[in-house]
Amino acid sequence: MAWLILVISGALEAVWATALGKSEGFSRLTPTIVFAVGLAGSMAGLAFAMRDLPIGTSYAVWVGIGATLTVLYAMATGDESVSAAKILFLTMIVGGVVGLKAAH
């Protein structure tokens, strides 16, 4: 259960990171609200997962999922360019996250 919560909270990290960018310095209401809700849910999920999982592994997996999904979303929406190098490095992040799960 802790791993599932950790994955969900990692996805919520991508939500709040994207909303933070779209809030334009907290000057737009809807993205600011999405940011606050996403941040609270993401942190709560991370804290819950850390009750059963090692702190370092939890944090690395959380950040890896969040960062990867944030970049993929930006690429999908055209906010960030797509390149073979970026895909390679995102694949390496995912590989590291899977490796940490397997090593646990």
Domain boundaries, the chain: 2-103
Sign of the Cα torsion 34, 59, 79, 23 reads positive
Helices (H), 28-83: 29-49, 55-77
Rounded mean pLDDT of 71-97?
96
Mean pLDDT of 84-91: 96
Task: Read off the pTM.
Answer: 0.92
Which of the pair, 6 or 103, is modelled with greater confidence?
A: 6
What digits encode the pLDDT tens for the residues 9-35?
Answer: 999 999 999 999 999 999 999 999 999
pLDDT in tens, 39-72: 999 999 999 999 999 999 999 999 999 999 999 9
How many percent of the chain have pLDDT more than 90?
Answer: 94
Report pLDDT for 101. 85
Dist. CA 44–CA 94, nearest whole Å:
23
Work out the angle at residue 88's Cα, subtended by the Cα atoms of residues 84 and 89, and round it to the nearest 5 degrees.
Answer: 120
Please report which confidence band the pLDDT of residue 104 belongs to, taking 50, 70 and 90 as the band edges: confident
